[in-house]
Structure 1
Amino acid sequence: MFNEEHQLTPLRWAMVGGGRGSEIGHAHRAAAQRDGLFQLVAGAFDLDAERGRDFGSRLGVDAQRCYPDYASMLRAEAVRDDGIQAVSIATPNSTHFAIGLAALKAGLHVICEKPVTFTVAEAQQLKAEAQARGLVFGVMYGYSGYPMLHQARAMVQAGELGDIRLVNMQFAHGFHSQPVEQTSSGAKWRTSPAVSGPTYVLGDLGTHTFHLGQFITGLKVERLLCHRQSFVATRAPLEDNAQVLLQYQSGAVGSLWASAVNAGSMHQQKIRIVGEKASLEWWDEYPNQLRHEVQNQPVRILERGMGYLATDDPGVACNRIGGGHAEGFFESWANLYHRYAIAMHGAAGGLWYPDIDDGIEGVRLLECCVESADNDGAWVAF
């Protein structure tokens, strides 16, 4: 079962963004407060100060600590004896670097949405600042808290698949197969280069499953080739569909399909790891199961929470409600927030969590994909 032995003082925590109507803001709050390790005491929730104050007050935050912007919040909280210790950034991509850097300079731990910045150079600056100040900088790859992905990683590390040959990754939904950005504010900023950055679906979707591939296999990319398309023409130059081929330093090869125009599809976030002995496949719509295929043997469906798993791995053992019950998205996020809290208290002891290095790899993916696609699909060194 999930380990609840960490009796830590709740961290005084704030949010930037994630206000009324934000699905991702709700996910951050539900995850952070689930284990009592974070206490929401302040926030700059909305560009509209009055709306943000009203929203924060309804969450139980003191109205005087519902600030009109992040800079005001950082200044005011810095002089309080009970000021914030950590902040989560749930704002559009273009703001991540400035807010993250300001929070680090204010001495705060940071949890940031992805892609963490527009450029690798910016992400590396955040890393240097966090390291210099001894602060945690987490990047919210929220799917990586699922126990069965940690099971996949444990099996790869144990050599159960043999040498890894293929890594096939996809995150391809159909909800933006029409120009929904004309009526959806969330879709509008995601398809705006000034706010989203140099990519749309590669940054919004592709970085998630790419991160899972890196996490599970530990393989390092040597070079890649990218083709990207804007099937809804008004989204150009940002892509709503992309295919990426990857070559790893080990000799393995991979593919990544990111799409928002896979009409009729809910999510289709899948990852398949193929080794010389066996293969593993995981699908986020069925996150409690891991498909294990060994050549010349029947297919095995491994179930979360069962004793035959690698339960000595804390990522595998972090079940919250036991096998058979359906754990989901919020549980995965809560598992990560639990790890962030332990790290912020200086008690991580090698405990894994998605950090700024993972964020840098995601931004590097985007930079290389844009370079490749803009050069007619040329191979680009990673």
Structure 2
Amino acid sequence: MLIGEKKIERPFRWGIVGGGRTSGVGYKHRLGAMRDNTSFVLKAAAFDLDFQRCVDFGKNLCMDEDRLYPDYKAMFEAEAKREDGIEAVDIATPNFQHFEVCKAALEAGLHVICEKPLFFEIEQGEEIKRISEKTGKIVCVTYGFSGFDLLTQMRHMILSGDIGEVTMVDLRYAHGFGCDPTGDTQAEGQKWRVDPKKSGPSFVLGDLSTHTFYISELVCPQLKLKQVLCDRQSFIRSRAPLEDNAYVLMRYESGAVGRMWASAVNAGDMSSQHIRIVGTKASLEWNDMHPDELHYEVQGKPAQTLVRAMDYLSDDALEYERLGALHYTGLIDSWSNLYNRFAVAMDAKNRGDEQTRRNLVYPDLEHGIKGIRWVTKCVESADKGGVWVDFE
């Protein structure tokens, strides 16, 4: 059970780019990072392109005004001159800025935590990988839903053969909060998501499905994706060529098959992510609206509901358990678990402890690059008329 005690010698001095007052994700990053103050302590920020708004926001967070900066370049330069300068940085900006800020951060000697999808092009991911290896710093990706305890239990049971050989992977991240087209011009967090210059070649494939695709990799690490076929639509026509709905079929090298539904126009649905893994003996299903429950259905036997924090779960699933049974968890618990692991990974990298990093399950640069490949290949398939394309 995790009760906030330190897992590393001291918390990382941490900075953030973006994530200011108008950000849709900034608060999640800060809560996730600082819930365990043994992992990260926020020291510096370039919250906003509007410097006065950045300063006002930072002061309201009780930050030192002299460590609030007009942009990331000024922050990296000034912090590098301080004995107590930041050691890691969070990139919580729109997609189009991820690559340049990530590159600059690594070159400044900082570990990086970055929003998804990482970049627009696979080649950009490979370049960042080379820089990361050269500088000895790591890149982590905030697939924020993946820190829930029962996903670790799901992974354990699948790898232990409790459902037999995996045959089908059924994925869904589909909500209805994009049904109103006025939000595209009024909501700050939505404007850039439907602008191809800022969001990249997709809307819901990049913004939503990358989360669920990573979760499928997390719980089924033995599967290797072979081909995808994608059909995407812009039901709000002003969003074209960006899609607000997409269906993806998947083929795996093992012979397993899968499907993904990603949508922002699933009208009325408040339930976002569903993950169902079907095997030759049984199935497992998890829904992020009920993250403390994992449904285990063995063919020919009564269905079981496994509950978070119970002693019958695997040791891995209990390691990051925080509250005990009967007390409900939420999304910030997932983010906090991820940030705790990010800190452990950064500390291990600094100490040259590669064994700890290899044994630690968290979304790293390789998973971020796979996320770029996922979006790229889905868009390629759809733009070719919905044909099968090789994943690698």
Could you tell me the TM-score, scaled by structure 1's length?
0.98
Structure 2 unaligned blocks of 5 or more: none
Aligned equivalents of 1:113, 1:231: Cα separation in 2: 26
1:125 to 107, 124, 127: 127
Query: What is the CA RMSD across the aligned residues, in angstroms?
Result: 1.1
Report the counterpart of residue 198 of structure 1 in structure 2.
201
Instruction: Indicate the SS of the match to 2:25.
Output: helix
Cα distance per residue 1:299-348 (max 9 Å; x no partner): 1000000000112x1x4431111111101100100001001111111164
Q: Which structure 1 residue ranges, 4+ long, deviate > 3 Å from structure 2?
A: none
Report the counterpart of residue 268 of structure 1 in structure 2.
272
2:286 to 265, 279, 282: 282
Report the counterpart of residue 368 of structure 1 in structure 2.
377
Instruction: Indicate the SS of the match to 1:239.
Output: coil
Instruction: Indicate the SS of the match to 1:76.
Output: helix
Report the counterpart of residue 102 of structure 1 in structure 2.
104
Aligned equivalents of 2:130, 2:202: Cα separation in 1: 25
CA apart distance, 1:5: 5.1
CA apart distance, 1:112: 0.1
Aligned equivalents of 2:271, 2:48: Cα separation in 1: 28
Aligned residues: 380
2:192 to 189, 192, 198: 189
Verify: 1:16 aligned to 2:39, yes or no. Answer: no
Structure 1 segment 236-255 matched on structure 2, within 5 A: 236-255=240-259
Cα distance per residue 1:126-169 (max 9 Å; x no partner): 11211222212100001110000000000001011111000000
In the alignment, is the contact (CA less than 8 A) between 1:305 and 1:317 conserved in 2? Answer: no
In the alignment, is the contact (CA less than 8 A) between 1:226 and 1:369 conserved in 2? Answer: yes
CA apart distance, 1:7: 4.9
Aligned equivalents of 1:225, 1:132: Cα separation in 2: 36
Report the counterpart of residue 319 of structure 2 in structure 1.
317
Q: Aligned in 2, Cα 1:351/1:14: closer, same or farther, shift over 3 Å?
A: same
2:363 to 354, 363, 373: 354
Structure 1 segment 129-278 matched on structure 2, within 5 A: 129-179=131-181, 180-218=183-221, 219-278=223-282
In the alignment, is the contact (CA less than 8 A) between 2:235 and 2:245 conserved in 1? Answer: yes
Q: Aligned in 2, Cα 1:5/1:183: closer, same or farther, shift over 3 Å?
A: closer
Aligned equivalents of 2:62, 2:219: Cα separation in 1: 39
Q: Aligned in 2, Cα 1:316/1:357: closer, same or farther, shift over 3 Å?
A: farther
In the alignment, is the contact (CA less than 8 A) between 1:211 and 1:362 conserved in 2? Answer: yes
Report the counterpart of residue 83 of structure 2 in structure 1.
81
Aligned equivalents of 1:54, 1:5: Cα separation in 2: 32
Instruction: Indicate the SS of the match to 1:370.
Output: helix
Instruction: Indicate the SS of the match to 1:80.
Output: coil
The aligned amino acid for 1:208 is H
Aligned equivalents of 1:27, 1:45: Cα separation in 2: 14
Report the counterpart of residue 294 of structure 1 in structure 2.
298
CA apart distance, 1:10: 1.4
Cα distance per residue 1:50-91 (max 9 Å; x no partner): 110111121122111100000111111111111110000000
Could you tell me the TM-score, scaled by structure 2's length?
0.95
Aligned equivalents of 1:56, 1:365: Cα separation in 2: 36
Verify: 1:381 aligned to 2:384, yes or no. Answer: no
Structure 1 unaligned blocks of 5 or more: none
The aligned amino acid for 1:381 is D
CA apart distance, 1:124: 1.4
In the alignment, is the contact (CA less than 8 A) between 2:8 and 2:343 conserved in 1? Answer: no
Aligned equivalents of 1:360, 1:215: Cα separation in 2: 15
Aligned equivalents of 1:178, 1:46: Cα separation in 2: 27
Instruction: Indicate the SS of the match to 1:151.
Output: helix
Instruction: Indicate the SS of the match to 2:140.
Output: strand
Instruction: Indicate the SS of the match to 1:23.
Output: coil
In the alignment, is the contact (CA less than 8 A) between 2:126 and 2:369 conserved in 1? Answer: yes
Identity over aligned pairs, percent:
51
My pick for the range that moved more, 57-66 or 325-334, is 57-66
Instruction: Indicate the SS of the match to 1:308.
Output: coil
CA apart distance, 1:22: 2.1
1:47 to 35, 46, 49: 49
